[in-house]
Structure 1
Amino acid sequence: MAAYLNRLHHISLYVSNVDKVAHELVSRFKFNVFAIRLTERVKQLAVRRGSAVFVVNERARGAQQRLNGHQSRVWSPVKATHHQQFEGLYGAPTHYPVDTVSNVCFEVSDVESSSTALRDQGCEFVLPPTQVYDDRGSVTFSVVRSVVGNVCHTLIDTSRYDGVFLPGFQQTADGSSDSYCPITHFDHITYACTRRSTPDITRWYEKNFGFQRFFIDRNEDVDEGYILNQDGIGLRLTAMDYWKCSESGVKVHFKDQKETDCKFVMAESLPEQGRNQVDTFLEEHRGAGVQHIGLYTEDIVSTAQTLTCAGVQFFSPPPTYYTEVGKQQEIVEAGHDPYALSQYGILLDTDVHADDINAPSQRYLLQVFTKPIFGEDTFFLELIERRGATGFGEGNIRALWRSVQAYMNGDQESERKNKQSRQP
């Protein structure tokens, strides 16, 4: 039996400097701080843009967390008020050595039954079903450990709560903003995975959460995934989505269906083409985890312009990308100006299928990657605008891959020169 997921509620970041990362998301990415939870030991800031919500948490320090005297692994329903000062509320207390994005929270209709079903299927729980409440109501949540590095999933039921966010959070004075930035929701989450781990990961999500495979390419091998293994690129991508899985038990009840259409992508490197940015992530992140998150925008050019003016840096493909005859024509036929896209490094990919031969340019997407937002070369964001296309820009993967790789190689070379210059 799969857990009944209703929607993606929020994504948690665990960082050493909450104020710095929250300021980055607000001042540069135009998120709004709308709620804060502050105790003597914990600081949590909730920021949002549209329905995309990040909770920025201080990374936990110190001994193993306890909840009302219970070790977190004990399976026993727990009740707590927001005044009780335990860390990792609504997430997994993490002692991770670097900044990380390690919790994806799903709203469910029944936390206890979903948690029991997952426990019976062998899932490991960091926190059993727990009720937290204040004067605005209560929420129940539990935290299950995934099979991807340090990633956990919080299952939460907020149906009996009418506060600003969650119990313990207070509304902030700057909870709204007039800045125009048409980001509406999370489009996809990409994991950087160790080699040959994808089959176990896909089976885990299929079995426990009812996810189903989403084929990036119609000719992709069901077992091997979408593979790029040439011209210096060694990459395996495997995608899944969770909202189409009603046959497995997932029930979705939302006014805006597209906001529930959040896909999960597993990326792993292939050894034949040498070291690449997935390997860099695994090394600097100290293991598998969330590599990037796609933010959906209704106007990528306007959004990229706004974010660039605010100081966001984007990866740029080689300039020849926009002057190639085929690509230039593809961009023009989709109604865009190659020069305007090139100003921000935005790539366009047309979704052409056999039944689209009469109007191949009507289904396309635009996308661009930001440079890493933490101190390490790990987590970054993606802007994506979809015009009928449901994939991930298969025609852009090589260009995106090379732009990221060039940045990584440049940083590594700069670091090598800096170390040499410091030597006596």
Structure 2
Amino acid sequence: MAAPARRLCHIAFHVPAGQPLARDLQRLFGFQPLAARKAGGWRQLALRSGDAVFLVNQGAGPGEPLYGLDPRHAVPSAPNLCFDVADAEAAARALATRGCRVPVPPVSVRDAQGSATYAVVSSPAGSLSLTLLERTGYHGPFLPGFGPVPAAPGPSWVSHVDHLTLACNLGSSPTLARWFHDCLGFCPLPLSPGEDPELGLEVAAGPGRGGLRLTALQGPPGSVVPTLVLAESLPSAAKEQDQVEQFLARHRGPGLQHVGLYTQNIIEATEGVAVAGGQLLTPPEAYYQQPGKEDQILAAGHEPRLLAQQGILLDGDNDKFLLQVFTKSLFAEDTFFLELIQRQGATGFGQGNIRALWQSVQEEAARSQEV
């Protein structure tokens, strides 16, 4: 591997001035302001909940935002993932040797709290770029160049980022998986027994309706990098676009479709998001009426009626369960949403839940087209 990733530092968003992402992260999901910077036409605000950090870059300056790259993307998006590496300069050289484009060569930034060095590398996943950050010499709350922001105490439902899901072009998952393996040290993470790592997990949506192919990758050994999931559509005879195809069209190419945020108490978190005004996807009613679903929910120690009221999905067996709930898009362009996830021993994503999410998003897209 050329530049093994050690930890996810932050996920960066680019939004136009006035877009309410930063406000919504605080009001709806319990994120708290961490540090801010305003310079060169950019307003950059880092927000944190537990170990999950989102950096909202707002505006469009004449230069690059600090620690990132300005792709001049047509719609609001999350175009950058920042990973800690042991040596940013060596990592940039190694990736350049492999033929990777390095639009921002290594840059050192210093303030009174210490220094950090970073470089930005282009990935083969559309406009997604990767910031390689070396910050062992920094002791401030976020990164050099940012000032602290006072935060009012509030609810904190999220402990860390569980996974990152990229929406990919048809047939591109094997190439992307090899790139993340060879360049950043990601390794295959089978989602089902006997799964071919080249083919991933196929989840059919129904006869002639295509479906979803998922390829999961885990970080290098010893790292604390979230699972990376590559999602692409299966060939379909249907005329209407599925949600991956819709994302690719609206986002104008591959990119980060959603982030799974881990919570220790998904019932409390979901209730808090809903009370604050957050919009959650409604699973198909038949999901909770499946044979054995009620017994499965009870076996996991939960109340079926309560999960159905809150739209929480549950899957698993043998005392290993997974609970998930999904938000509607945080952007009007339908290019990004969040997931709350709680694991009770389960490590995968639950094929039943994947099908339910697929149907939920399809139904929501159909409703939005009727308005």
CA offsets 1:157-195 (integer angstroms, 9 cap, x no match):
111111221111111122x52x23331000000011111
Q: Are positions 1:262 and 2:226 aligned together? A: yes
Give the one of 267, 274, 286 matched to 1:301. 267
- Report the Cα distance in structure 2 between the residues aligned to 1:369 and 1:187, rounded to whole angstroms: 14
Q: Which amino acid aligns with 2:121?
A: V
> Contact 1:182–1:297 at 8 Å: present in 2 too?
yes
1:226 is matched with 201
1:16 is matched with 16
Q: Are positions 1:183 and 2:183 aligned together? A: no
Structure-2 change in CA distance of 1:18 and 1:188 (3 Å):
farther
For this pair of structures, how many residues does the alignment match?
A: 367
- Report the Cα distance in structure 2 between the residues aligned to 1:53 and 1:125, rounded to whole angstroms: 24
Q: Which amino acid aligns with 1:142?
A: A
Q: Which amino acid aligns with 2:283?
A: P
Q: Which consecutive segments of 4 or more residues in structure 1 shift more than 6 A?
A: none
* Secondary structure, counterpart of 2:310 in structure 1: coil
> Contact 2:162–2:261 at 8 Å: present in 1 too?
yes
Larger Rg: 1 or 2?
Answer: 1
Give the one of 165, 175, 178 matched to 2:142. 165
CA offsets 1:55-80 (integer angstroms, 9 cap, x no match):
00025355xx4xxxxxxxxxxxxxxx
- Report the Cα distance in structure 2 between the residues aligned to 1:387 and 1:202, rounded to whole angstroms: 27
With structure 2 as the length reference, what TM-score do the two structures score?
0.95
Q: Give 5+ residue unaligned stretches, structure 1.
A: 66-86, 253-259, 353-359, 415-424
Structure-2 change in CA distance of 1:308 and 1:273 (3 Å):
farther
Root-mean-square deviation (CA), in Å? 1.5
2:31 is matched with 31
CA offsets 1:114-151 (integer angstroms, 9 cap, x no match):
11111111111111111011122111000001110111
Matches within 5 A, 1:118-129: 118-129=95-106
2:212 is matched with 235
With structure 1 as the length reference, what TM-score do the two structures score?
0.84
Give the one of 318, 323, 328 matched to 2:284. 318
Q: Which amino acid aligns with 1:370?
A: T
- Report the Cα distance in structure 2 between the residues aligned to 1:278 and 1:49, rounded to whole angstroms: 28
* Secondary structure, counterpart of 1:343 in structure 2: helix
Structure-2 change in CA distance of 1:163 and 1:48 (3 Å):
same
Q: Which amino acid aligns with 1:364?
A: F
Q: Are positions 1:60 and 2:24 aligned together? A: no
CA offsets 1:343-381 (integer angstroms, 9 cap, x no match):
21000011x4xxxxxxx1x21110011000012111000
CA offsets 1:33-55 (integer angstroms, 9 cap, x no match):
12110125110000000000000
- Report the Cα distance in structure 1 between the residues aligned to 2:136 and 2:194, rounded to whole angstroms: 42
> Contact 1:130–1:140 at 8 Å: present in 2 too?
yes
- Report the Cα distance in structure 1 between the residues aligned to 2:281 and 2:257, rounded to whole angstroms: 15
* Secondary structure, counterpart of 1:5 in structure 2: coil
Give the one of 61, 68, 76 matched to 1:99. 76
Q: Which amino acid aligns with 1:187?
A: D
How many angstroms does 1:220 deviate by?
2.3
> Contact 1:61–1:95 at 8 Å: present in 2 too?
no
Give the one of 314, 336, 349 matched to 1:379. 336
Q: Are positions 1:284 and 2:250 aligned together? A: yes
Matches within 5 A, 1:150-161: 150-161=127-138
How many angstroms does 1:261 deviate by?
4.8
1:412 is matched with 369
> Contact 2:197–2:215 at 8 Å: present in 1 too?
no
Q: Give 5+ residue unaligned stretches, structure 2.
A: none
* Secondary structure, counterpart of 2:347 in structure 1: coil
> Contact 1:59–1:95 at 8 Å: present in 2 too?
no
CA offsets 1:274-312 (integer angstroms, 9 cap, x no match):
320001101111111000000000000000000100011
- Report the Cα distance in structure 2 between the residues aligned to 1:181 and 1:340, rounded to whole angstroms: 22
How many angstroms does 1:7 deviate by?
0.5
2:235 is matched with 271
- Report the Cα distance in structure 2 between the residues aligned to 1:343 and 1:233, rounded to whole angstroms: 29
Tell me the percent identity. 43
How many angstroms does 1:5 deviate by?
1.8
* Secondary structure, counterpart of 2:144 in structure 1: coil
